[in-house]
């Protein structure tokens, strides 16, 4: 990608937000990676110079890099001021957009990036925003030769690339995958900043518009290869993992389906069916989550209910979400495992009348999901855009991570940075 005329390879927009601080620290680590063969000029961007300065000072202290502040550019811009977003985009090769909820604040950044020839990566877990942006801007981005890649954090790089990894490791045709997310916490438990909680409230409160958007897009159905993947019950027991699971309510299924459509329509690859679940441990956790889910689904239907959910996240989420977010101790002690169970057909076996005769189990493991794995995934996606240009889709456009990165070295990059992909078992049935 052309970087010569632009002063900054990367710009972290929203660096002074809760997640933006962690993304800033991750870019600072990447800047001094011993394997880097070239400079990485970068900047932070946001409304307040003082706050951005504090973010850099905090990162400098944490990383033991006293000169960091003087090595990083500062760009003042505001989501409400399109001219300032244009100025930011003109200076960047890739913008890392950390300002959410994206349904309210994401589109102006994408628009500015496309109009000014910058690529853009975000970490949205909001299917309605992601799908609408693809519908509205794919052709405009392709005309400009820029890449707009959503959901490049924990939602949904591990799931999307995990399915592609599983397909690449199967000696035959992969037809269906179920994934199970397990979150591990330390002695002080789990906590998540309330940003994703707000996104979920607005998303569930506006589901009818997502249905309308999907109906309006008039997409042909992707063919089913092999038997149809059966949906599990809302609460089901997973024998292999010896625990209960519930459907994963994030954007993973939407993102993986869009990737599989792209790979089928553009690269003639066999599409994979996909379902996502999250493990919830024993029966006590199941009961607790059932109550939290019923509260959430009842309150989210009404304007006043949504206001209460937003005002008191800690109460309504049984302590999982808070306005303060996790402590550093909670972050350091947490990790995730995403386990994929795939089935398919060995080479040469017809998929029409035969039963699947191969099973495969793979895993993606990593550090704490929201504020360690997400910045790693986002920054390595950006480095892939900068360095693996010949392996990206030929024209630009609006892509899922799997569609953009399926032929690149992103999985290798993630493996080196602590998000590890591995095969657990593979067998002919």
DSSP string across 236-252: EEETTTTEEEEE--SSH
State the angle between helix axes of 374-387 and 18-31 in degrees (0 to 180), rounded to the nearest 10: 50
Specify the pLDDT at position 4: 55
User: What number of helices (H) and strands (E) belong to the chain?
Assistant: 17, 16
Hey, what are 171's tokens?
A: 């000696």
Counted domains in the chain: 2
Hey, what are 132's tokens?
A: 């609408």
Q: For 209, phi and psi rounded to 5 degrees?
A: -70, -30
Same domain, 148 and 179: no
Residue 37 inside a domain? The answer is yes
Same domain, 316 and 167: yes
Residue 392 inside a domain? The answer is yes
Same domain, 71 and 179: no
Edge-to-edge order in the sheet of strand 335-346: 236-238, 243-247, 273-281, 172-184, 335-346, 358-367, 420-428
Same domain, 181 and 254: yes
Same domain, 119 and 174: no
Residue 48 C-alpha from the chain's centroid: 27
Residue 254 inside a domain? The answer is yes
Residue that is written with structure tokens 């706050």 in the block: 51
Hey, what are 336's tokens?
A: 């995730």
Distance CA 11, CA 17 (A): 14
Q: For residue 282, is pLDDT > 90? A: no
More confident residue, 206 or 324: 324
Same domain, 137 and 167: no
Ranges of beta strands (E only) in 255-327 are: 273-281, 321-322
Beta bridge partners of 279: 245
Q: For residue 144, is pLDDT > 80? A: yes
Whole-model pTM over 0.85: yes
Same domain, 335 and 384: no
Same domain, 300 and 352: yes
State the angle between helix axes of 303-311 and 283-299 in degrees (0 to 180), rounded to the nearest 10: 130
Same domain, 393 and 303: no
Same domain, 312 and 287: yes
Same domain, 147 and 227: no
Residue among 135, 126, 64 at smallest CA distance from 97: 126
Residue among 410, 382, 376, 415 at smallest CA distance from 40: 382
Residue 3 inside a domain? The answer is no
Residue 2 inside a domain? The answer is no
Q: Which alpha helices (DSSP H) does 182-226 contain, by range?
A: 194-205, 207-216
Q: For 33, phi and psi rounded to 5 degrees?
A: -60, 130
Residue among 336, 94, 316 at smallest CA distance from 194: 316
Specify the pLDDT at position 429: 58
* Segment (H or E) for 156: none
Integer-rounded Cα radius of gyration of the chain: 21
Specify the pLDDT at position 293: 81
Hey, what are 193's tokens?
A: 């900043």
Residue 1 inside a domain? The answer is no
Distance CA 40, CA 44 (A): 13
Hey, what are 383's tokens?
A: 């480095």
Q: Which domain holds residue 278?
A: 157-369+414-428
Distance CA 159, CA 414 (A): 13
Residues 6+ apart with CB under 8 A from 183: 190, 278, 334, 335, 336, 369
Residue 78 inside a domain? The answer is yes
Hey, what are 224's tokens?
A: 């089913």
pLDDT grade for 314, boundaries at 50, 70 and 90: confident
Span 178-182, average pLDDT: 97
Distance CA 25, CA 214 (A): 37
Q: Encode pLDDT of 254-273 as tens digits.
A: 999 999 999 999 999 999 99
Q: For residue 134, is pLDDT > 70? A: yes
Span 310-339, average pLDDT: 90
Q: For residue 2, is pLDDT > 80? A: no
Specify the pLDDT at position 17: 95
Residue that is written with structure tokens 């889709």 in the block: 393
Residue 350 has a CB neighbour count (10 Å cut-off) of: 7
Residue 277 inside a domain? The answer is yes
The least confident of 83-92, 133-142, 220-229, 320-329 is: 320-329
Q: For residue 410, is pLDDT > 90? A: yes
Same domain, 336 and 212: yes
Burial of 426 by CB count in 10 Å (0-12 exposed, 13-18 middle, 19+ buried)? Answer: middle
Q: Encode pLDDT of 342-390 as tens digits.
A: 999 998 888 777 899 999 999 999 999 999 999 999 999 999 999 999 9
Distance CA 368, CA 184 (A): 8
Say which CATH number the domain at 62 has: 3.40.50.720
Q: Encode pLDDT of 33-62 as tens digits.
A: 988 878 899 999 999 999 999 999 999 999
Residue 64 has a CB neighbour count (10 Å cut-off) of: 7
Residue that is written with structure tokens 């993973």 in the block: 252
pLDDT grade for 138, boundaries at 50, 70 and 90: very high
């Amino acid at each position: 990608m052309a970087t010569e005329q632009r002063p900054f390879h990367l710009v972290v927009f929203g660096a002074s937000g809760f997640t933006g601080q962690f993304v800033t620290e991750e870019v600072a680590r990447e800047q001094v990676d011993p394997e880097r063969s070239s400079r990485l000029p970068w900047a932070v961007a946001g409304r307040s110079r003082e706050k951005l300065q504090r973010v850099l000072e905090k990162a400098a202290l944490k990383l033991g890099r006293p000169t960091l502040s003087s090595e990083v550019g500062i760009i003042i811009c505001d989501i409400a001021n399109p001219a300032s977003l244009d100025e930011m985009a003109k200076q960047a090769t890739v913008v890392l957009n950390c300002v959410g909820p994206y349904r309210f604040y994401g589109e102006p950044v994408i628009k500015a990036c496309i109009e000014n020839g910058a690529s853009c990566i975000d970490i949205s877990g909001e299917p309605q925003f992601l799908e609408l942006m693809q519908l509205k801007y794919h052709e405009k981005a392709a005309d400009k030769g820029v890449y707009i890649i959503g959901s490049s954090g924990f939602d949904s790089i591990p799931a999307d690339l995990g399915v592609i990894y599983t397909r690449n490791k199967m000696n035959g045709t992969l037809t269906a995958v179920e994934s199970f997310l397990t979150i591990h916490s330390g002695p002080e438990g789990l906590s998540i900043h309330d940003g994703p909680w707000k996104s979920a409230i607005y998303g569930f409160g506006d589901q009818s518009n997502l249905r309308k958007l999907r109906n309006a897009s008039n997409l042909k159905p992707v063919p089913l290869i092999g038997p149809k993947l059966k949906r599990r019950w809302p609460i089901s027991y997973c024998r292999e993992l010896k625990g209960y699971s519930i459907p994963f309510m994030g954007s993973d299924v939407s993102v993986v389906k869009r990737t599989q459509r792209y790979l089928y329509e553009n690269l003639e690859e066999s599409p994979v069916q996909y379902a996502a679940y999250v493990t919830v441990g024993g029966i006590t956790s199941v009961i607790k989550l059932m109550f939290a889910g019923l509260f959430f689904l009842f309150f989210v239907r009404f304007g006043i209910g949504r206001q209460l959910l937003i005002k008191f996240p800690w109460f309504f989420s049984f302590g999982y979400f808070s306005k303060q977010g996790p402590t550093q101790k909670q972050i350091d002690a947490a990790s995730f495992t995403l386990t994929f169970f795939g089935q398919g057909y060995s080479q040469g076996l017809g998929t029409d009348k035969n039963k699947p005769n191969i099973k495969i189990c793979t895993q993606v493991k990593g550090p704490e999901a929201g504020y360690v794995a997400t910045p790693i995934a986002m920054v390595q996606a950006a480095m892939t855009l900068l360095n693996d240009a010949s392996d990206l889709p030929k024209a630009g456009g609006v892509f899922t991570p799997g569609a953009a990165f399926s032929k690149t070295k992103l999985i290798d990059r993630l493996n080196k940075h602590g998000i590890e992909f591995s095969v657990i078992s593979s067998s002919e049935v």
